């Protein structure tokens, strides 16, 4: 799947419209993958292939003005500057509104926050929020999270800028749980500048009642939700993920949390991505796998085998 920077009057790129058409013509259940800061939609490519092998159809939308490649993003960082959480959420909602079937939504980091915002709007059939950035009402602020965000928050002017991470900063914030060689490869292949605005929005969300960084946790149309936390994540430690989970437990729908041992913030792009993808897939399949079209695609024997496998672990703090 490729991406184009050109957009139409509705704000969607040609590539996004092509993905929507592909999803609608397939008749399959869409899965919308939402990336976070310092990554691009292509970071989900292996996940998209895995979910399509399981009978879904993948949609990997941009944030507004995302460049089509890591090289172009690093060469032209200014195009990503100034994007806010509300702008991105509305753009993703516009993508989903054009899908003929209600999708599953999977997001990582700020993409995990956005996935919860979309679920709170009733736009997701089932949601997986992986190492999700905090929203209004999530109070813990571990030192490691502040350190990971400091390359942006340390300069107020960064609110209007797109800010890259140095390798050392990426190593701490994303790649602390992988080898040096793998960390270097992840930085080379995935790291791009990110708009500073969302981090400033999240930083003051609990003192700003009008913040865009809030989730309707009470909407009965939210659907099932899984929060995934990496045990060694510096950027979104367990304290933040668990606090998000507790807020979401106010919803009458099913809410679960799982901790992935020995995993950092890079868990969706590093060599252990498949273990996390399988957890997400198992959860999604519990709620939107057994429809007629997918049954025809996979066959009844395979559906039955997957439906009973890979139960989602839970770790709920007392």
Which domains does the chain possess?
A: 14-307 (3.40.50.1820)
- Which residues, including other chains, have CB under 8 Å from residue 162's CB and lie 6 or more apart? 77, 78, 79, 80, 81, 193, 194, 195, 196
Is residue 215 predicted with pLDDT exceeding 90? yes
- Confidence band, pLDDT 50/70/90 cuts, at residue 200: very high
Is residue 2 predicted with pLDDT exceeding 50? no
Is residue 182 predicted with pLDDT exceeding 60? yes
Q: Give the pLDDT confidence score for residue 305 in this predicted structure.
A: 38
253-276 pLDDT, tens per residue?
A: 999 999 999 999 999 999 999 999
Q: Give the pLDDT confidence score for residue 290 in this predicted structure.
A: 39
- Confidence band, pLDDT 50/70/90 cuts, at residue 10: confident
Q: Give the pLDDT confidence score for residue 289 in this predicted structure.
A: 72
For a pLDDT cut of 90, what percent of the chain falls above it? 87
* Dist CA 126 CA 225 (whole Å): 6
Is residue 179 predicted with pLDDT exceeding 70? yes
The residue with greater pLDDT, 310 or 111, is 111
Q: Give the pLDDT confidence score for residue 7 in this predicted structure.
A: 53
In contact, 132 and 247? CB cutoff 8 Å: no
| Listed range (37-41, 56-60, 195-199, 296-300) with the worst mean pLDDT | 296-300
Going by C-alpha positions, the residue among 54, 76, 56, 57 that lies closest to residue 67 is 76
Q: Give the pLDDT confidence score for residue 8 in this predicted structure.
A: 57
Q: State the CB neighbour count (10 A cutoff) for residue 183.
A: 21
- Confidence band, pLDDT 50/70/90 cuts, at residue 4: very low
- Confidence band, pLDDT 50/70/90 cuts, at residue 9: low
* Dist CA 303 CA 312 (whole Å): 17
Helix-helix angle 110-120:85-97, to 10 degrees? 60
123-145 pLDDT, tens per residue?
A: 999 999 999 999 999 999 999 99
Task: Give the chain's count of helices (H) and strands (E).
Answer: 13, 8
- Which residues, including other chains, have CB under 8 Å from residue 107's CB and lie 6 or more apart? 33, 34, 35, 36, 113, 114, 115, 116, 127, 128, 129, 130, 132
Is residue 297 predicted with pLDDT exceeding 80? no
Going by C-alpha positions, the residue among 211, 17, 40, 215 that lies closest to residue 97 is 17
Helix (H, G, I), strand (E, B) or coil at 182: helix
User: How far separated are the first and last CA of the chain, in Å rounded?
Assistant: 43
């Amino acid at each position: 799947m490729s991406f184009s920077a050109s957009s139409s009057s509705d704000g969607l790129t040609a590539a996004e419209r092509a993905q929507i058409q592909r999803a609608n013509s397939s008749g399959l259940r869409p899965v919308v993958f939402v990336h976070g800061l310092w990554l691009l939609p292509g970071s989900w490519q292996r996940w998209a292939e895995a979910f399509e092998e399981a009978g879904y159809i993948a949609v990997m939308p941009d944030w507004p003005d995302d460049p089509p490649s890591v090289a172009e993003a690093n060469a032209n960082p200014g195009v990503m500057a100034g994007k806010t959480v509300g702008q991105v959420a509305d753009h993703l909602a516009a993508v989903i509104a054009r899908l003929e079937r209600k999708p599953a939504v999977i997001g990582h980091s700020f993409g995990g926050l956005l996935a919860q915002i979309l679920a709170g709007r009733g736009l997701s059939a089932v949601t997986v929020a992986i190492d999700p950035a905090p929203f209004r009402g999530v109070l813990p602020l571990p030192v490691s999270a502040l350190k990971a965000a400091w390359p942006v928050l340390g300069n107020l002017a960064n609110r209007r800028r797109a800010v890259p991470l140095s390798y050392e900063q990426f190593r701490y914030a994303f790649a602390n749980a992988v080898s040096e060689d793998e960390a270097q490869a992840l930085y080379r292949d995935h790291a791009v500048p990110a708009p500073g605005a969302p981090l400033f929005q999240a930083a003051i969300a609990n003192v700003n009642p009008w913040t865009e960084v809030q989730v309707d946790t009470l909407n009965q149309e939210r659907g099932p939700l899984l929060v995934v936390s990496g045990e060694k994540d510096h950027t979104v430690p367990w304290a933040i993920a668990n606090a998000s989970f507790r807020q979401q437990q106010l919803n009458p729908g099913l809410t679960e949390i799982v901790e992935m041992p020995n995993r950092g913030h890079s868990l969706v792009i590093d060599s252990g991505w498949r273990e996390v993808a399988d957890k997400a897939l198992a959860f999604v399949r519990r709620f939107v796998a057994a429809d007629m079209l997918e049954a025809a695609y996979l066959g009844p024997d395979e559906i039955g085998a997957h439906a009973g496998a890979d139960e989602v672990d839970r770790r709920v703090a007392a």
